[in-house]
Every structure is written in structure tokens, then in C-alpha cells.
A and B are shown apart, each in its own frame.
Chain A
Amino acid sequence: MKLTVRMSWNKIILPFLIGAPVLCAQMPPQIPAAAQAMLQIQQPTVDNTTPVTAQASFDPPLIRAGEKTFYRVDVTATESAIQWPVTLPAPEELKVTAQARGQMTQFTGNTFRPLTTFLYELQPATAGQYVITNFTVSCAGQPVQVPPASLDVVTEALAAPPPRRLRLQTTATNVFLGQPFRVRVILLAGPGNQLEALREIQLSGAGLMTDQSGTRQSIEVIDDNGALRPAFISDLMVTPIAAGPMALTAQGFTAGREFSGPISIHGQVSLPGGPPKYILLISDPIRLNVRPLPAEGELPGFTGAMGIFIKEPPVLSTDRLQVGQPAHLKLTFHGEGDLTRFVPPSAPISSDWQVIADPVPATGFTLIPLTDEAQATPAIPFCAFDPISGTYRDLSIPPIPVTVIGEGLPVELRDAEQAGDDSVPVKLSSLAPAPGKSVTHLTPLQLRGWFVGIQLLPVAGFCLLWQWDRHRRFLEAHPDLVRRRKARRDLRRKKMELQKAAAAGDAESFIQLAAAAMRIAVAPHYPANPQALVGGDVLARLDSASQNGGTADTVKQIFAATDRRFAAQAKPPADWLALNADVEAVLQQLEAKL
């Protein structure tokens, strides 16, 4: 069994052994010879074995009272390792007007060695000899002795030149928040017009941001109080990031011939020989006034762009595209502002487009339509602040009309198998030739308030019908009410006819109508048919006081007149119309009893 296993491993390994010479391995990346040489050079190390030393001196050590001098302490260690005292052990007469500290690395042949300088600007007011005694500072846990230094202050004028210091110039001192401006740090040539480079330049000032990437170095001949002198000039770009008044100062180390980076030289230059001497220099401060950006008039899309910019018409790679097909929108701006710090407009948010901004510093966008309902590119709000006029300038990108084509879906299945079963049609229908059956709204009647109101109408109808039936049953139970109502209605009609007959002077009709009205008025009391009643029946319904008076006579005369047609000898008609008022009174009395 063991033999079998060994044979199997041999079978596996053998092809690899045989095929190894003919197999091609993956080739390693080719590195140029010059690059290999660079990689093989041993980089210098940082010297941290040599004991730390400190030097202290006044620059210059002899001044006139009221002039300024520098007290400079150089320590061969990193700044972070040194615990520097808050106050100097200096006499009270030495007034400290400014101070700075800086660090650099000096190349000592085969190692780098750190150098930290602490600089104080002093201005003694009175003459005398001042000594800053030796003192001890802690450096990485080890005590380092700072030697004493003495300063002589005299009252008479001295011929010695003032101590070297940097000069600082700015293009603007009254700027807006975020407005970049250039700062020029100048180091004039020293004695013998020997020019030195400047290293580790720093601008100090709260609320200022220095752009080291935009630094330009040059050597030029400048006017120094009427005398032309060569100078090392470093141009830096500074952006205020806080509003309010502030002071700007510069510091840097002289570095002999150690120029770093590109430099443009104008005019004749004398460079010093020998090893460089690293001396920390500072400048006088410059007062700046930083104004906040105005809130009023701010336009949408402000990204912090400062300057006078002009936009070119946007260029879209195509104006006809399909859903999902990207198109590039090229935006071009030019102007007087700082284009190195130009922040392009941010990508707008659109439901119809996916917008991808080009990587900075490009200012274009990649637009991808998400739907064919998009008819134009999204508007891109953008503006810049013009620090000269103090206003915002609109640079918005308007929408560009485009045609977006959707991707259609199949309108017909290729074979019946795709349909799955026979009930599924193999293609879509044709267009409907007419709108066909329609409704006023898609919302059904069940959910509309007026329809509920309509349902109340049958309810109201049934209620009315019920009331009518109830009333009818009531009248059937009380027939006298029906008779009296009918008598009143007939009596009103007869009275109108009576008045018409009286007005017409028709005495015969007047008599007949008066008798009929009286019969109608008393008929419900019996009850009886009005035609069956006689004058006695009417008299019986009069008040007891009226049954023997003039009213009774009127009734008798009326009925006597109506009965005269039955008499043997017809009597001549009396002045029956004169009874009109009496008849009216009788009828009123009878009507009141109905």
C-alpha cells in the first residue's frame, strides 16, 4: 500500500521536473539602470548620537540704546525634543518685542543633523552691559547647558549696519475672507553683495493658510532705499481663513548656496563660498484686514471661487443619446482669479440624470440619462465672488436640450415556447382606433361624496310618501274636517261670484248665489247636502241674538226671494241688491262657525 502511494507522488512530481526547463515563468518588472542605482544608494541617516550642543549670541552684540538686537540660541536637536522655558532669564531692561523659533536639518557630509533656533528681538532702552546668564534646558530628557551671552548698549551712534532681517511685501492688505493673495519674502544680499538662499520659510499669523505648492523663487535686483541690491525672493500664495485684523510675519533660515527647487535669476549674482551658515531671520509684521464675505446677494452654487471669471459656452459631446449612455459636458472658465485654487461647481442632484464630476482640476461632468423623459441636461448653479466689486457673479451652466431615446421592449414573442402556454398571446395588440368607453373620473362613485348624497333622495321620497299616507288616514278618521274644509273652499268661491253679481247689478243671480252660499255655510253642521237645506236651517245656525233681529230678516228675505218662483203670483222684484251688506254680515257670521 505504501509503495502505491509513493508511485502516485512520483507520477505527480515527474511532469513538473521534466517540464521545468521549457516552462516560461512570469517576467519580473524591468527597472531602468539609473533607477536601480538610485535605489541602491544608501540614504544618509539622522545623527542622534552626537551630544546635543547649544550656542547663544546677540546679533549684533553692540547697539545704541533704543535700537533692536536679536538674541539667538541654536540647539542641535529637534524642536519637539526641547523643553524651552517660557521666560528668558534676561534682565528686565531687555524688552522682548518679538520672538520666533524654527527648525531645519543640516547636512554634515554623511548624516543629517537637526538644528533648532530660538530667536528673540530685544530693544533695550538704556545703555549698559546686559548679560543673559547660562541656563539649562531639557532636551530628550538630557540637560543641555545654554552658555551666557552679553550685550553692550551705548548711547552714541554706531557705524555698524543694522542686523539682517527679512522683508515682507503683499499684493493686498485689505482682503476678503478666502481671497488668495501673494506674499513676497525678500532676503537682501549680505556684505559684499553675496546672496544666500532662504530655506524653511514660514509665514506666521492666525487665520492664514499658506500654499507651499505655489511658491516661486527668484533672484532679482531690487531698489533698497535708492540703492540697487540683489535679493533672494520667494513668492508664496496666502489665503485668509478667518476674518478680522491680523498680523503677518515671515521667518526663514539663510542657507548659503543651497537652493531648492527651480529659481529664476535676473542680473549678476555673487554666491558665497564655503559651507552654508544657517541663521534664522524674521521680518517686521504687516497688518492685514480680512473682511467677511457679504451675505446679501449670494447666489446658489458658491464653492469659494474668488476672482473675475468668464465662462465659455458649455460643450456637450452629443445632444442625442440613449438611456444609460454617458455624455461629457465640458466647461471652460478663464479669468483673472487664482485658477490653481479654483473649485469647480459641484455635481447637481437630478432624478433623471446621474452626474459624475471630473477629477479636479478639470471642470467637466459626465452625464448619464436615467430616463427618456429627460429633455435637457440639469442646470448647474455656480458663482464666483469678485473681490474688486465686492459682488457675486453668476456663472451657472444653463440646461442644454437633448433627446434621450429609450430602449424599447419586445412587442412580439419569437416562438410559442416563449409564451409558456396557449393562453398567453404572442404579440401586443394594435392601437385602439377610438377612445372607447370613458368615465368622468377614475375614482369610483363609491368614494365620492355627492353619490352618498344622491342615496338620500329615495329616503326622502319614502318619508314624504309615509307622511302623505298618514295624513290621508287622519282625514278618513275625521270626515267633518273634510266637509268643513270643502265648505270653506266652496263658500269663498260663492262669495266671489256674489260680489261679481252685485257689481254687475244682476239681482236675480245675486239672490240665488246668496242663498246657495248660506246653504253651503251651514251644510257641514248637520251634515247634509247644501241643496237639501232651507231658510229655517240657516236661521237655526245663527246666533241666538241674531235669530229674531235684522239678520234673520235678511235670511228670510233672501230665501223668500228664491222661493217666489213657486208663488201663484209673482211679486215684483224688490231692491235686493241693497241687501248686499247684510248678506255679507250673515255669511261672515256663518263662516266663523265653520
Chain B
Amino acid sequence: MSCRAKILLVVLMCALNAGYAATNDWFALGVEYTHDGDFPGAAAAFKNAAGNRPAAGTFVNIGLAEWNRGHAGAAILAWEQARWIDPFDTRAITNLKFARQVAEVESPQLKWYESASTWLPPNAWVWIAGASLWLAVGALVLPRVLRCNRRGWHQTVAALGFGAFLFGMTANFGVVGRTDIGFVIKKTALLLLTPTHEGEIISNLSAGEPARRIWTRGNYYYIRTSSAAGWIDKSQFGLVCTEMEK
């Protein structure tokens, strides 16, 4: 490898790692703020880190900072986002159980295929579905194209591939359905009859209460909770897969 190519490679790697370095800086700053008891500063630092690179540990720490500030809704949302990235994160699972017990709010009600989609990270299902489909198609088509003798294991691989594809597709539907799940992040958020500031109040929602977004209109979401449906201001409701603002 020539000297010029080595320099180009080093510059490329530095550029790619710049975002990760900034993420780690914000993360370390957030840890420092947390140890100092400055939870608003810690939450802001961790949110910057998550904005650069969403990570399960970062969201766990956002939730801890928000919880210590008294923002139960924002904390539950952050821990759900941590579980969205890594369903096996034990800290997020533990904290969600604890927070729901203290705040007396329930978990979101999932359909069976949405529950199945929580077994793996959301992006894993789409790769599983894609790979299994083409594996099955390849197992059926390639032996004929390549003029190989058809074997039993070709059929087995194709059958398993199609099976994995069908299950993966249902899980993918579950993932897409879960993107509309969100949580009330403000205390005493208002559920309104109309998407206007002066709309008639249907009920008050607790911080951390789950709901499913149905429609969006202007600055309002039409959501359905376990007990009611109505409009809520966007600033009072956070979706799990909403991109963090950089």
C-alpha cells in the first residue's frame, strides 16, 4: 500500500470516528454531571450524546437523570428507547419495572406480533426476513441454474428460509406498529377533544402513560390510550422511535 493510500485511509477513519468521539465526550460529561448532582445538565449532555449516536446505555442514563429531576414520563420514554435499541438491556428492563410501579402507570398493550418483535432488535428482523427470503429463493433456483443435482437439503433450506421469512415479516409488521407507540412526558398532560389550544378537555393523563398515535395534525397527535382517545400537544407526548434532535 502506497504512502498516499495510507494517509487517505487514516483521514477516512478519523472522519468516521469523529462522531463517536464527540458522543463519548458528551457521555463522559453526562456521567460527571450525574455524579455532581446536576441532573438537568446530565440529561442535556446525554441527549447530545444520543443525538450523535443513539445507544442503549446513553438512553438508560438519560432516564436516570430525568427520573432524578422528577420527570417520570421522560424517564420511562428514555428507557423504552433503550429497550428499542437493545431488548436485552437489563438496566432498562429493571428501571422500567421500578418506574411503572412507583408512577403507577401500565405498560403499553402490544398485539401478538408486536410482542414477538420485541424478542430481537427491530433492525435484526428486517435482515432476517430479507436474508431468509433470498436464501430460500436461491436454494430453489441456483441448483437448476448451476446444473447441480437437486438434493434433499436444498428443499430443507428453502422450506426453512420461507418459514423464517414469514415469521420475520410478521415481526416486521410488529416493529412498524410499535413505531406509533409513545408515552406522555409531561405532568398532567391534557387530552383534548379537538386539535386546538382551546379544545375541550377529555381527561388528564399521567406522566409515563402509554398511548398509540393514530393521526397527526399540526402540533397535535391523535392518540388512543387504554381508556380514552383524543388529541394531545406534540410537546407533551414522545414517540419511542422519534429521532433525537441534534
Contact = CB atoms under 8 A, between A and B. Distances in A.
Interface of A: 323, 351, 372-373, 406-411, 413, 418-420, 423-447, 451, 454-455, 458, 462, 465-466, 468-469
B54 A442 contact: yes
Contacts, number: 152
B60 A429 contact: yes
Contacts of B91: 429-430, 432
Contacts of A406: 39-40, 69-71
B126 A419 contact: no
B53 A435 contact: yes
Nearest to A427: B98
B71 A443 contact: no
19 contacts: A406-B40, A406-B70, A408-B39, A408-B70, A409-B70, A428-B99, A429-B64, A431-B64, A432-B91, A435-B57, A437-B121, A439-B123, A442-B54, A442-B84, A442-B244, A445-B127, A446-B172, A454-B130, A462-B137
B97 A424 contact: yes
A419 B104 CA distance: 11
**Considering the complex of A and B, which 8 residue pairs feature the smallest CB-CB distances, nearest first?**
A432-B57, A435-B55, A436-B57, A438-B55, A429-B91, A406-B69, A444-B122, A406-B70
B129 to A, nearest CB: 9
B98 A425 contact: yes
Contacts of A420: 101
Contacts of A407: 70
Nearest to B19: A440
B97 A442 contact: no
B94 A429 contact: yes
B53 A438 contact: yes
Given A406-B40, A439-B123, A455-B130, A428 B94 contact: yes
B175 interface: yes
Contact of B102 (A413, A435, A437): A413
A413 to B, nearest CB: 7
B118 interface: no
Contacts of B54: 438-442
A431 B123 contact: no
Contacts of A466: 145
B85 A439 contact: yes
Nearest to B137: A462
B102 to A, nearest CB: 6
Contacts of B31: 431
Nearest to B60: A432
Contacts of B90: 429
A406 B98 CA distance: 20
Contacts of A427: 98
B113 to A, nearest CB: 13
Contact of A435 (B27, B34, B39, B172): B27
B59 to A, nearest CB: 9
A443 B243 contact: yes
A372 B84 contact: no
Interface residues of B, number: 61
Contacts of A454: 130
A435 B49 contact: yes
B64 A323 contact: no
Contact of A428 (B67, B103, B130): B67
Nearest to A429: B91
B203 interface: no
Main secondary structure of the interface of A (DSSP, over half): loop
B97 A425 contact: yes
Nearest to A466: B145
Given A373-B40, A439-B85, A444 B56 contact: no
A363 to B, nearest CB: 28
B243 A435 contact: no
B67 A411 contact: yes
Nearest to A457: B134
Interface in B140-155: 141-142, 145
A423 B97 contact: yes
- A411, A443, A446, A458 — most chain B CB neighbours (10 Å): A446
Given A410-B102, A446-B122, A372 B235 contact: no
Given A409-B103, A411-B68, A431-B64, 18 more contacts: A372-B40, A372-B70, A413-B102, A427-B98, A431-B34, A432-B56, A435-B55, A436-B86, A437-B89, A438-B54, A441-B54, A442-B54, A442-B85, A442-B243, A443-B179, A445-B122, A446-B125, A458-B134
Given A406-B39, A413-B102, A428 B57 contact: no
B95 interface: yes
A413 B102 CA distance: 8
B23 interface: yes
B23 to A, nearest CB: 6
B241 A444 contact: yes
B58 interface: yes
B206 interface: no
Interface string B62-86: 0010011111100100000100111
Contacts of B72: 409
Contacts of A410: 102
Contacts of B122: 444-446
Contacts of A351: 235
B61 interface: yes
B145 A465 contact: yes
B69 A408 contact: yes
Contact of B68 (A409, A413, A432, A469): A409
A433 B24 CA distance: 11
B98 A434 contact: no
Nearest to B122: A444
B39 A428 contact: no
Contacts of B127: 445
Interface in B152-178: 172, 175-176
B126 A428 contact: no
B66 to A, nearest CB: 9
A187 B68 CA distance: 75
A128 to B, nearest CB: 73
Contacts of B23: 435
B145 A437 contact: no
A152 B89 CA distance: 113
Contacts of B98: 413, 424-428
Given A424-B101, A462-B141, A433 B57 contact: yes
Contacts of A428: 64, 67, 94-95, 98-99
B229 to A, nearest CB: 24
Contact of A444 (B57, B67, B99, B176): B176
B242 interface: yes
Nearest to A442: B241
A425 B244 CA distance: 29
A144 to B, nearest CB: 58
A455 B169 CA distance: 14
A446 B176 contact: yes
A418 to B, nearest CB: 8
Contacts of B243: 441-443
A437 B95 contact: no
Q: Which residue, B54, B72, B95, B137, has most C-beta atoms of chain A within 10 A? A: B54
Given A425-B94, A444-B126, A446-B175, A436 B89 contact: yes
Given A372-B69, A446-B172, A469-B145, A409 B102 contact: yes
Contact of A437 (B55, B137, B176): B55
Contact of B61 (A323, A419, A432): A432
